[in-house]
């Protein structure tokens, strides 16, 4: 795979701000989109801007076909056994909320989550604690950010109905040993939901091999349009869920006092869908598969190693997560004692158009428990270059000298 050719696919790299190109190191927040994804979405708006499924004219037939193709594409992307196991959502948050609100959780049922979960995988369960009286168990993270498998097994000794974990952390990039986690959880009779928002863009996922029960991801982190996502669920489990968002397009028929739900997945896709987004997401999955996860992981490791080597000598810099960059995917999160993380991020932007994320990255709970105000996160992706990483490091060093 040729990096120059890959970069040519992303329109942002052709642009300059104040005479310099953008150095985008915030892909963990949202990735860039290749032209083919943009074109796929535009095609919908230009050539067949109609409803899927509901109408019988030729435009509707095209949309229906394209959305169906996208669903099949996503099923292949995740290794699902059938496309009906793919539910289109707006994002990972919606996918997790769908499970949280549709699964038959009762008072006293335990849900186990990790110690550095994104708010998307914390707040929905907190709400259920208040509303239904479920128990929320939190597995502390090891000091170096790695998953505590032993601690996890111990916590499973008491009945747990659902284990809901971030597959890869958006805080430090650490990926949990999902196969072992799922095996252990199943052994103890627990279902497993994985938040794969930070995994799907970076490594091959095979839901059948993993034997995961539910898996949620976002389109906007994997080259797809914002406002798109997928919830994968095993067909037999999805059949047992009661839709929590209902209305148009979820029912086959209704009377004044009852309704007949459509089969899965339609029953979970209420209201008119973001057809352009769905088509774009399908194209994003196709593009990623063409690039190949081998190339993606190799490039990320190369870049993250360079970040790691560059910043390790910066005075007062504290890395969050494991020291080995190979354990952190494309993410490097750090803070510098006494320096506001937003200030660093803004200065990087002002100095060299370097875009990084600052703050608590929607993992407030982890930061608050450690009394850390915030951090800077660089997240490289396969389309970044070593030169970009060098500029980032060089400017970070300058900032450290000044602040």
Partner 1 sequence: MFCIVAAIVLSILGIFSASNRQLAKEALDCVFHRITFRPCTTGFDEKMKAKILGKVITRSEKSARFLNKNFELLAWIFFVIFLAASVMFVRGFVLFYTTGSCNGANSTGFCVFDPTGENTKTSTVTGGACPVPTNPSGSSLTLQNVDLNLWPVMNKGSKDQIVFVGCYACEYTREAYPKIRALVEKYGPELYFGEYPTKLKTDTLSRVGYCVYQQDPAKYWQMNDALFSEDVALLEDENATRAILSGLNLDMSSLDACMADPATEASVQQLFTEIRKTNFYGTPTLFINGEPLVGPKPYRVYAIALEGFFYWLK
Q: Is 155 in the site for partner 1 (CB under 8 A)?
A: no
Three-state SS string across 298-348, please?
HHHHHHHHHHHHHHCCCCCEEEECCCCHHHCCCEEEEEECCCCHHHHHHHH
In this structure, the number of other CB atoms found within 10 A of the CB of residue 402 comes to 7
Please name which of 333, 332, 325 lies closest in space to residue 302, comparing C-alpha atoms. Answer: 325
- Say whether residue 343 binds partner 1 (CB under 8 A): yes
Which CB atom, from 4 or from 19, has the smaller least distance to partner 1?
19
Known catalytic residue: 362?
yes
160 counts as binding partner 1 under rule CB under 8 A: no
**Binding range to partner 1, per CB under 8 A, among 59-67, 78-86, 274-282, 340-348:** 340-348
Assess contact for 195 and 118: CB atoms under 8 A: yes
Cβ neighbors of 271 (< 8 A, separation 6 or more) are 245, 247, 248, 249
> Which window, 25-33, 161-169, 263-271, 345-353, contacts partner 1 (CB under 8 A)?
345-353
Torsion of CA 107, 112, 116, 119, to 10 degrees: -40
| Interaction between residue 351 and partner 1 (CB under 8 A) | yes
Q: Considering the complex, what minimum distance in angstroms separates the CB of residue 367 from partner 1?
A: 15
Q: What angle do CA 169, 204, 362 make, to 5 degrees?
A: 20
Q: Does 344 bind partner 1 (CB under 8 A)?
A: yes
Asked if 49 and 41 count as a contact pair (C-beta separation under 8 A), the reply is: no
Least distance to partner 1, CB of residue 350, Å: 3
Question: Do residues 260 and 252 lie in contact, with contact meaning Cβ atoms separated by under 8 Å?
Answer: yes
Report the residue number, 181 or 396, with the smaller CB distance to partner 1: 396
Measure Cα distances from 260 to 55, 246, 255 in Å.
20, 11, 9
Segment contacting partner 1 by CB under 8 A, of 157-165, 259-267, 305-313, 347-355: 347-355
Does position 350 interact with partner 1 (CB under 8 A)? The reply is yes
How far apart are alpha carbons 315 and 390 in whole angstroms?
18
Query: 107 in helix, strand or coil?
Result: coil
Residue nearer to partner 1 on the CB measure, 302 or 372:
372
Q: Is 346 in the site for partner 1 (CB under 8 A)?
A: yes
Residue 127 within binding range of partner 1, rule CB under 8 A: no
**Least distance (Å) between residue 402 CB and partner 1:** 5
**Residue 95: phi, psi to the nearest 5?**
-60, -45
Answer yes or no: are the C-beta atoms of 67 and 279 closer than 8 Å: yes
Nearer to partner 1, 242 or 350 (CB): 350
Nearest-approach distance from CB 399 to partner 1, in angstroms: 7
Cβ proximity to partner 1, 10 vs 24, nearer residue: 24
Q: Judged by CB under 8 A, does residue 148 bind partner 1?
A: no
Interaction pattern, residues 363-402, with partner 1; x per rule: CB under 8 A:
-----------------------------------xx-xx
CB of residue 366 to partner 1, shortest distance in Å: 20
Distance CA(351)–CA(170), nearest Å, equals 26
Residues involved in catalysis = 362
Which residues contact partner 1 (rule: CB under 8 A)? 340, 342-351, 398-399, 401-403
């Amino acid at each position: 795979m040729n990096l120059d050719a890959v970069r040519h696919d992303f329109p942002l790299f052709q642009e300059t701000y104040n005479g310099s190109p953008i150095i985008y190191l915030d892909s963990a927040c949202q990735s860039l989109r290749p032209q083919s994804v943009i074109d796929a979405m535009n095609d919908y708006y230009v050539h067949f801007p109609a409803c899927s499924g509901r109408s019988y004219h030729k435009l509707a037939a095209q949309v229906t076909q394209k959305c169906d193709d996208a669903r099949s594409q996503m099923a292949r992307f995740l290794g699902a056994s059938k496309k009906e196991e793919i539910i289109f959502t707006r994002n990972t948050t919606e996918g997790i909320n769908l499970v949280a609100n549709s699964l038959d959780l009762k008072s006293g049922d335990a849900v186990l989550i990790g110690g550095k979960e994104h708010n998307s995988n914390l707040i929905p369960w907190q709400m259920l604690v208040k509303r239904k009286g479920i128990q929320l168990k939190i597995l502390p993270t090891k000091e170096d950010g790695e998953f505590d498998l032993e601690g996890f097994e111990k916590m499973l000794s008491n009945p747990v109905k659902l284990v809901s974990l971030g597959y890869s952390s958006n805080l430090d990039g650490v990926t949990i040993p999902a196969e072992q986690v799922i095996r252990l959880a199943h052994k103890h009779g627990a279902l497993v939901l994985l938040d794969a928002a930070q995994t799907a863009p970076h490594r091959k996922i095979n839901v059948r091999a993993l034997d995961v029960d539910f898996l949620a991801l976002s389109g906007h982190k994997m080259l797809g349009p914002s406002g798109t996502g997928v919830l994968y669920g095993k067909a037999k489990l999805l059949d047992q869920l009661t839709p929590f968002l209902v209305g148009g397009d979820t029912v086959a028929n209704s009377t004044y006092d009852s309704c007949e739900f459509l089969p899965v997945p339609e029953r979970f896709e209420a209201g008119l869908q973001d057809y352009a987004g769905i088509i774009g997401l399908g194209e994003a999955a196709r593009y990623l598969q063409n690039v190949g996860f081998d190339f993606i992981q190799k490039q990320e490791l190369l870049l993250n190693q360079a970040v790691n080597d560059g910043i390790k000598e910066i005075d007062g810099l504290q890395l969050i997560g494991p020291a080995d960059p190979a354990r952190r995917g494309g993410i490097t999160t750090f803070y510098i004692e006494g320096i506001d993380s937003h200030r660093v991020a803004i200065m990087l932007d002002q100095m060299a158009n370097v875009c990084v994320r600052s703050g608590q990255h929607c993992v407030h709970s982890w930061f608050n428990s450690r009394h850390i105000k915030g951090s800077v996160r660089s997240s490289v992706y396969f389309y970044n270059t070593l030169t970009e990483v060098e500029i980032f490091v060089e400017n970070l060093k300058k900032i450290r000298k000044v602040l």
